[in-house]
């Protein structure tokens, strides 16, 4: 798969996920559908955010970091977009359960930062 095909595929999948999330938001009643409706809501939102952040991050990295290889830019952009989408979904889930506090946000950010530093250090030792 070429880079152009990857970007087009991610763009189309992201658009479908945003459309699916909008349909879930407008058509599904969480009190009537229970946990299934909420699961679909968070899943569609996660994939839509992940794709959106990937496309933005890849575009910015491609513009400002022309010397790096494209597959490394793709891998870094995907990993960090995954973490950021996970953070946003986690914050929204905690808010829906009335458990969101400033120290919960700090713990989420700290946990994801440690995970990112692990991947960065693992990557540098194996190259």
Summarize pLDDT for 38-86 with one digit per residue, the tens.
899 999 999 999 999 999 999 999 999 888 888 888 999 999 999 999 9
- Above 90 in pLDDT, residue 18? yes
The pLDDT-based confidence of 127 (bands split at 50, 70, 90) is low
Give the single-character DSSP code of 101. -
* Cα dihedral 51/53/55/58 (nearest 10): -130
Task: Say what the pLDDT of residue 70 is.
Answer: 85
The domain segmentation of the chain, as residue ranges, is 3-125
At a CB cut-off of 8 Å and minimum separation 6, what does 13 contact? 47, 51
Task: Say what the pLDDT of residue 111 is.
Answer: 93
Structure tokens at 110: 């700290």
Q: At what angle do helices 70-96 and 35-64 cross, to 10 degrees?
A: 150
pTM for the predicted model, two decimal places: 0.87
């Amino acid at each position: 798969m070429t880079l152009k095909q990857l970007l087009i595929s991610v763009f189309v999948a992201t658009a479908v996920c945003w459309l699916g999330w909008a349909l879930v938001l407008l058509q599904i009643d969480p009190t009537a559908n229970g946990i299934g409706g909420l699961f679909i809501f968070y899943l569609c939102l996660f994939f839509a955010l992940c794709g959106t952040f990937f496309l933005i991050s890849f575009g910015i990295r491609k513009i400002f970091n022309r010397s790096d290889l494209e597959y490394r830019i793709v891998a870094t952009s995907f990993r960090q977009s995954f973490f950021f989408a996970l953070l946003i979904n986690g914050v929204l889930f905690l808010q829906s359960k009335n458990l969101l506090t400033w120290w919960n946000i700090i713990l989420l950010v700290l946990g994801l930062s440690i995970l990112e530093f692990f991947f960065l250090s693992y990557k540098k030792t194996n190259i």
